[in-house]
Structure 1
Amino acid sequence: MSTEPDLLALLAPLEAAVAQLADTWHPDDPAFQADLLRQTMTSLSYACFAYFHADAEHPDWAPLWNPVYTLQPNPDDIYLQSPIRGDLTYRVAGNRGTCRILSFTTQRALSGTVDEMPRPNGHNEADDSDLGLVPGEDFEVIFSARRPDGYTGKWAPIDPEARGMIVRYRSYDWLNEVDPILSIECLDPVPPKPRLSPAEIIHRIGEMSRFPARKTRLYYPMQNGVKDRVGYNVFEPVRMPGALAKQVYWPACFQLDPDEALIIETALPDIRPYWNIQLNDPLFNAVEYVYRLSSTNGHYARPSSDGRLRAVIALTDPGVPNWLDPAGYTEGGIYGRWYDCDSAPVPTISRVKLTALRDHLPPDTPVVTPEQRAEELRLRVRACQRRRRW
């Protein structure tokens, strides 16, 4: 009698992710059905890193959301993750680089690895300003539940029940800022990294197959909830438990017809170390952001002459600054972020005919020519490809 493992049986929990189609905006739409299948496979591909790349005693950085676009991600951020354990001590060392913000988050569970996230999530955060990390300089930080006796160097606390660390390299000027170079090591005596047993491999494959459904169950309600509470084209600012404490998010769900444009307008905080805005699809994935101008930030955006930001969502190039290209989607999500700003203005959205767009913008709004737009996109592609996303 054969004892060979049944791979199809191990992957059966993937069907639970497909069943989440019922929670999408248009379950009967073939495009939504296909997008869900794609999302399931991209989440599964990331799960391989989550379950097989490293362990808490032998930590190593693995890509988080960037290669697969799930759970947005923020196009300005390069995300890394490593398993850790709250009863162990870790050293993160390397060069700070010159990116806008370098931040570390440790938490009890990484999203998608458990059926229900712990509440409270037991997370700790620290960024480069908290830790006194100087752009361009080498550094090392000890992470542990308590400061080691006699240690006077840079230290950050982790929850005693911590199971994962997330790092964000947040860039403003993609082309010219330099991302950090980091290592992570466990300082406690640990045995050599073992060969996995057959039972452990089978277990981890089973966890991989549960990962996509766990992700969608956690994150569909975030974007769906905005639509259910305030409808389309209305922002609902929020500070998120378990997310960056210094950050105010301003999500919305957008909707427009092909012959329309959406004008996002907002005041800008006086003190604004970082802000951005991006577009997501209806399943809470980032839309293409390497070859599409689907996001902007405080470095690239061009405020109007009155100091206000005006960005325009349209399916085709409207020939104005701050075009946000939805990459073919007529509805989806918007995510903005005010990070460590002195205020958190709430933007508005106006829905207008594309042919009448300039009637709703300041008279001195510049014209962006096709040649200028092509150059803007060319530099974006070059800059994004030079950042290490995996």
Structure 2
Amino acid sequence: MSTDAISPLLTSAGWELLSSLDTYSESASLKLNETLRKAGHCPELVAAALTQSRLRAKAEEKFGEFAAHMLFTQAGLEQATRLNIAALHAQRFTNASITSVADLGCGLGADSLAMAGLDIAVTAVEMDEITAACATVNLMPFPHALVVCAKAEDVDLEGIQGVWLDPARRTTSTSGTTRLFDPEAFSPPFSFVEKLADAGLAMGVKMGPGIPHEAIPDAAEAQWISVNGDVVEAGLYFNALARPGIRRAALVIGRHGSSELTSAVPYVPYAQDVQTGPVFGYLYEPDGAVIRAGLVADLARIMGGHLIDEHIAYICTDHPVETPFARGYKVQEARPLNVKALKAWVKANRIGVLDIKKRGISITPEELRRQLLTGSGKGPNKATLILTRIGEDRVAVVVEPLDS
């Protein structure tokens, strides 16, 4: 995004026009463009205002009502922290009595907003000029928030008590953004993160949820967070921000509120004291945060259940268990995964709507659904299949979802 995309809005007339627009509508945007230009507004201002109106509408999911008073870039919005999650980050600093924080790689300023809202003095650092300009506008209501356009590595941290980092894990080009997988390719690189942690600063780092356990420093607490079933981040916390006695945590946020599952020990693959058993009774699919945190075996023990395979994240119990950490199903039958036999089963049971879930096998649910329903007569009934493997055997489990 060039400076032309926001500079027309950084005037009283530009801001007034943007503020006057109704909620963005894609179908009405062309006509609105023509109307605004006929009213005498220059094409550059109209384009900038409509772009921001569109981004504000998309940003409501992450920023709620605050989005209506903020500026965005497309790439910045894609990577921005949800405001309710940013509030959790900020709470870590207040709990540790940290009153000044450098937000290195602040992006559009979501985490800085949350910290400033808790009266933390924030130095928000962003190397991209356009994104830094947007962050400046977004943080204007907070006199104790300062935006600096610079590289994170170049900032003087003298007198700063805490650091928050959200390393850029994507590279931007004319065709969009591309995810980076090498931690040393992040901006700033992960070696810079470890250097600050070794210096003893109270520090938190937002990482992608796919970070491997072996890449997590021994001194860090790692917390995976899911929102309504979507795993949104893995947060690493060092020194004063790390909670005593917690190495791994899964924070699950949904309509039930928030619940957390924790472990005091690091994750060691294939050394989880896993109990396995047959498919029967009730089958549970752990939340993605629980899986990412390596807490599936811990959850099975808490639920009084067992895994159906030591390498597959499905738990079975002989009675229903109420838990915010997994979605439950009543097992109706388990059968070999045979497409011809399943097609006959679909037809015999007059199934017209088929929900298919899978784990541990290389089948595309959409393609299998098409195969099973083609020529079945499109009956009135609905069914759910869970496809997985137990040892070397591929199985199809017919289940009925439990009410959550």
TM-score normalized by the length of structure 2: 0.26
Higher relative contact order (CA 8 A, sep 6+): 1
Q: Give 1 or 2 for the bigger CA radius of gyration.
A: 2
